[in-house]
Amino acid sequence: MPNPVINQFGRAAGGGKNAPSANQLQVMFDKPAYTGPRPTTRYMTLDDVVQRLAAMLGTIFLAGAVTWVTVPNEHYAAPLIIGLLGGLGLGLYMAMTMKVNAALALTYSAFEGVALGAISHLFETRWHGIVIQAITGTVMVAAGMLFVYKIGAIRVTPRFTRIVVGATIGLFGLMVVNLIAYLFTPHGLGLRSGGALAVVFSIVCIVIAAMNLALDFDMVERGIRQGAPQKFAWYAAFGITVTLVWLYIEILRLLGYARD
């Protein structure tokens, strides 16, 4: 049985009425080659993460500045509690579900900004100039960790990740136990009492927080290399923000101990 496609091509090549003209052939040759369907999801880039991180840190700074300026000293307890509980609840939800978008991330940043504004003002009232020192220290530690990560001085291996994650969980477990101990003794376990143990504990927290930054940088790099979707940039920015907030609070505490 003759092939109808071959027969049609033969009639066209033979100059029949179905043969395309020279202009039609030129139009066919000028059309771009088929490259498949266009991708519907854009991949995450470093710029995506930087822009979202800047938005979150900017929201924290703005909310903190508003809290600092508008709330009287004697009324800082309410915004502090609201900011801490709101940030903790929303942060745990995003961390466990990995569902992070602009609305959730910026709302979390606003809660954190309110809490940090209250905490920072209380520290500044007692020790003048301590907030700018803590901000400077946080920036220097973050920049230093980024530098040593980029030059390969710190390699994020599976073993390194397990150690840092385990140490982080252990530290937060100690913090919870210390809070419970406050119910029975005035200074809890002494981890936040301002003594030598408190100084050592804050230094350990700063070191572990800095190591967590290396994990955050590695997460961003692997996400870009493996073609993570653009929406993952919000989660990456959220992870870095959480670590920076923790780092700032620990540096603020350590400077307070030093002032005493």
Query: Rounded to a whole number, what is the distance in angstroms from the first to the last CA of the chain?
Result: 99
Q: How far is Cα 28 from Cα 120, in angstroms, rounded to an integer?
A: 69
Backbone angles phi, psi at 229, to 5 degrees: -65, 160
Across the chain, mean pLDDT equals 85
Q: How far is Cα 92 from Cα 89, in angstroms, rounded to an integer?
A: 5
Which pLDDT score, from 0 to 100, does residue 73 have?
A: 73
**Six token digits for residue 65:** 């500045």
Which pLDDT score, from 0 to 100, does residue 83 have?
A: 93
Q: Is residue 19 pLDDT above 80, yes or no?
A: no
Q: Quick check: pTM over 0.85?
A: no
Which pLDDT score, from 0 to 100, does residue 31 have?
A: 56
24 versus 201: the higher-pLDDT residue is 201
**Confidence band for 12, pLDDT divided at 50, 70 and 90:** very low
Closest listed residue to residue 75, CA positions, set 111, 114, 108, 128: 114
Amino acid at 10: G
Q: How far is Cα 208 from Cα 159, in angstroms, rounded to an integer?
A: 15
Backbone angles phi, psi at 128, to 5 degrees: -65, 135
Q: Is residue 14 pLDDT above 50, yes or no?
A: no
pLDDT tens-digit series, residues 143-154:
999 999 999 899
186 versus 214: the higher-pLDDT residue is 214
Q: Is residue 170 pLDDT above 50, yes or no?
A: yes
